[in-house]
């Protein structure tokens, strides 16, 4: 069964910010999907929506199915079981997610106890095992967060995320706050854990190179939409959407310190999601925009095997499409719905 299916997901915050718009994603168990995009493009909102962790008053529409269960329609009790046991999130900046006055071992044991999975003694033992699994000595369980380095704290966060053996792990910028050497270690750790346990991974980052190195597939988000999707290497090395190309040019290599900031050579910022421009949301920054781009938003189009991009310049008419100008034919290049 497909692990995660997201269909036409849209999130609008109270006040009108359309932070996620019409997102479709599919993830199988054991697959690693990278979600890329500049700050403000809706990546964290997407992650939070998958587990319904958004503030009250936020409007969510569409469908999210996790292991066949409809997450958006779930009652509170079911939802609580899904969080941690079904899916869990590793956030950026572990210092802010860990409780400073509790020993890390107790914090790892807490979700295990909350889910009634073990006695206190068994949960403590499991916390030690989880620490070893993420490369820390079990004895570090008695440490307080401030006694650990940034990389060690992020390992603790990963141990917490693994505690209830989730089917899906969402890692939102898990290494952005870490230095380059530690970043590589943490990425390898996440990769190995995912491979060993056949869970699904959604890894979020502004760094396309990091994602291309870690993930099977990539989705590039801009202004709340997925503007390009495909096999990780092809998207990184041969992006079809001008935004994905700019992002890829900005992050040429893993761990390049110069490439940890906004895409170089791309003027301006992503639009404010409460005042989106007409047409393609990227057109004002796009080096190859045509007049039509300011008028009409572009749908995702077929861009080669397993690939799609939401750009008027994407060519390669699918074979099923009729001859140009045939009114009965599907729109040229329109992506066929699976
Ligand atoms: P990313 O993770 O890609 O940086 P976010 O999902 O955090 O993007 O934010 C997407 C947009 O939603 C941003 O413009 C941000 O200002 C807006 N936003 C995020 N959280 C809230 C909130 N609680 N209320 C209103 N707007 C928000
Ligand atoms: Mg974010």
User: Mean pLDDT per 10-residue run, the chain (338 residues)?
Assistant: 95 97 95 94 95 94 94 88 79 74 94 84 94 94 94 90 88 83 84 87 91 94 98 94 91 56 70 95 94 95 95 65 40 44
Same domain, 299 and 217: no
Same domain, 180 and 247: no
Looking at all shown ligands, the one closest to residue 49's CA atom is 1
- What is the domain extent for residue 25? 2-100+149-222
Same domain, 21 and 164: yes
Answer whether 206 contacts ligand 1 (Cβ < 6 A). no
How confident is the model over 97-123, as pLDDT tens digits?
789 999 999 999 998 888 777 899 999
pLDDT of residue 326: 40
pLDDT of residue 319: 41
Helix, strand, or coil here: 168?
Answer: strand
pTM, whole model, 2 decimals? 0.87
Answer whether 41 contacts ligand 1 (Cβ < 6 A). yes
Same domain, 65 and 164: yes
- Number of domains, the chain: 2
Answer whether 45 contacts ligand 1 (Cβ < 6 A). yes
- Provide the CATH number for the domain around residue 42: 3.40.50.300
Q: Does any domain span residue 119?
A: no
**CA-proximal residue: ligand 1, atom 7 (nearest):** 44
CA distance 263 to 245: 10
Give the distance from CA 153 to its chain's centroid: 21
| Both tokens assigned to 50 | 């998958």
Looking at all shown ligands, the one closest to residue 37's CA atom is 1
Distance 49 CA to ligand 1 centre (A): 12
Answer whether 19 contacts ligand 1 (Cβ < 6 A). yes
Q: Does any domain span residue 143?
A: no
**CA-proximal residue: ligand 1, atom 22 (nearest):** 13
| Both tokens assigned to 168 | 């899906």
CA distance 119 to 131: 18
CA distance 73 to 220: 27
Same domain, 209 and 252: no
Task: Choose the final residue of a domain: 222, 250, 283.
Answer: 222
To test ligand 1's pocket by mutation, which of 13, 208, 220 has the most ligand atoms within 8 angstroms of CB?
A: 13
CA distance 334 to 331: 5
Same domain, 159 and 276: no
Task: Choose the final residue of a domain: 190, 222, 254.
Answer: 222
Answer whether 271 contacts ligand 1 (Cβ < 6 A). no
Same domain, 279 and 187: no
Distance 196 CA to ligand 2 centre (A): 27
User: Relative to the CA of 38, which ligand 1 atom is closest?
Assistant: 3
Distance 47 CA to ligand 2 centre (A): 9
pLDDT of residue 252: 65
User: Relative to the CA of 272, which ligand 1 atom is closest?
Assistant: 14
CA distance 173 to 304: 29
Tokens 């929506």 locate to 49
Q: Does any domain span residue 129?
A: no
Same domain, 170 and 264: no
Same domain, 96 and 31: yes
Please say whether the beta carbons of 63 and 7 come within 8 A.
yes
User: Relative to the CA of 42, which ligand 1 atom is closest?
Assistant: 6
CB 70: neighbour CB atoms within 10 A?
12
Same domain, 49 and 172: yes
Same domain, 211 and 247: no
**CA-proximal residue: ligand 1, atom 21 (nearest):** 13
Task: Report the greatest alpha carbon distance in the chain.
Answer: 71
Residues 6 or more apart whose CB falls under 8 angstroms from that of 277 comprise 271, 283, 284, 294
Instruction: Give exposure, 158-197, as e/b (b: 16+ Cβ within 10 Å).
Output: bbbbbbbebbbbbbbbbbebbeeebbbbbbebbbebbeee
Distance 60 CA to ligand 1 centre (A): 14
Answer whether 44 contacts ligand 1 (Cβ < 6 A). yes
Q: Does any domain span residue 337?
A: no
**CA-proximal residue: ligand 1, atom 20 (nearest):** 45
CA angle in degrees (0–180, nearest 5) for 133-137-142: 115
Answer whether 154 contacts ligand 1 (Cβ < 6 A). no
CA distance 104 to 220: 35
Q: Does any domain span residue 168?
A: yes
Q: Does any domain span residue 203?
A: yes
Q: Does any domain span residue 120?
A: no
- 64-73: long-range contacts, CB 8 A cutoff, minimum separation 24: 64/4, 64/5, 64/6, 64/7, 64/9, 65/2, 65/4, 65/5, 65/6, 65/7, 66/3, 66/4, 66/167, 66/168, 67/1, 67/3, 67/167, 68/1
- How is residue 304 annotated by DSSP? S
Residues 6 or more apart whose CB falls under 8 angstroms from that of 229 comprise 217, 218, 219, 220, 235, 300, 307, 308, 309
- CA-based nearest residue to 259, from 191, 314, 205: 205
User: Relative to the CA of 224, which ligand 1 atom is closest?
Assistant: 10
pLDDT of residue 48: 93
Answer whether 144 contacts ligand 1 (Cβ < 6 A). no
| Both tokens assigned to 323 | 């001859």
Ranges of H-type helices in the chain: 43-50, 76-81, 94-97, 104-114, 120-133, 150-162, 180-197, 208-214, 232-237, 242-250, 291-295
- The region that residue 99 occupies, defined by phi over 0 for left and psi between -120 and 50 for alpha, beta otherwise, is beta
Same domain, 165 and 302: no
Q: Does any domain span residue 108?
A: no
């Amino acid at each position: 069964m497909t692990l995660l299916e997201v269909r036409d997901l849209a999130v609008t915050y109270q006040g009108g910010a359309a932070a996620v718009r019409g997102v479709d994603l599919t993830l199988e168990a054991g697959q690693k999907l990278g979600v890329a995009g500049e700050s403000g493009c809706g990546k964290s909102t997407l992650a939070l929506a998958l587990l319904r962790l958004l503030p009250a008053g936020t409007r969510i529409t569409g469908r999210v199915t996790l292991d066949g269960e409809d997450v958006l329609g779930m009652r509170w009790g079911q939802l609580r079981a899904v969080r941690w046991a079904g899916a869990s999130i590793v956030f950026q900046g572990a210092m802010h997610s860990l409780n400073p006055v509790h020993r890390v071992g107790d914090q790892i044991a807490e979700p295990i106890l909350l889910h009634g999975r073990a006695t206190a003694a068994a949960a403590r033992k499991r916390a030690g095992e989880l620490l070893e699994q993420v490369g820390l000595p079990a004895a570090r369980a008695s440490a307080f967060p401030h006694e650990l380095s940034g990389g060690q704290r992020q390992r603790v966060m990963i141990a917490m995320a693994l505690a209830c053996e989730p089917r899906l792990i969402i890692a939102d910028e898990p290494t952005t706050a870490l230095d380059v050497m530690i970043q590589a270690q943490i990425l390898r750790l996440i990769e190995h854990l995912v491979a060993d346990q056949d869970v699904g991974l959604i890894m979020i980052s502004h760094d396309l190179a990091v994602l291309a190195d870690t993930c099977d597939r990539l989705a590039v988000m801009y202004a709340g939409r997925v503007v390009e999707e495909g096999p990780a290497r092809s998207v990184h090395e041969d992006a079809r959407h001008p935004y994905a190309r700019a992002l890829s040019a900005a992050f040429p290599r893993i761990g390049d310190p110069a490439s940890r900031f906004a895409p170089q050579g791309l003027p301006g910022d992503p639009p404010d999601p409460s005042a989106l421009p007409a047409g393609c949301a990227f057109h004002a920054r796009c080096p190859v925009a045509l007049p039509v781009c300011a008028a009409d938003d572009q749908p995702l189009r077929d861009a080669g095997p397993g690939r799609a991009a939401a750009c008027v310049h994407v060519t390669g008419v699918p074979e099923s499409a009729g001859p140009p100008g045939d009114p009965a034919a599907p729109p040229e290049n329109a992506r066929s719905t699976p």
